[in-house]
Amino acid sequence: MKELAKAAKSHFRFLTVYDTPFPPMGSGRMEYGWKALKKLVKDAKNPSWTAALKYTSTSSERQWTLVKFVSFQLMFMTTFEFVY
């Protein structure tokens, strides 16, 4: 689980800078985060990440905790900070 969380945190930072900005507020954050996590695990094809995602997906509280951990610092970043 820790390995997946660390990889996801790096991946979310990459997405925020080079791809789609993280939604600033609301339920879109959870949906975006969960979708990005599933895509990361699918693309990586790492069996331990797949098992961790499967375990996490059985509980909405675990999903929320993982997405919240991964996206915590991104809440304070804006696209303005990346441009300048």
- What average pLDDT score do residues 9-23 get? 76
pLDDT at residue 84, rounded to an integer: 40
What confidence tier does 24 reach under pLDDT thresholds 50, 70, 90?
A: low
Torsion, Cα of 83, 34, 25, 74 (10° steps)? -40
Instruction: Report which of 20, 18, 4 is spatially closest to residue 69, judged by C-alpha positions.
Output: 4
Structure tokens at 78: 């804006």
pLDDT at residue 11 tops 80: yes
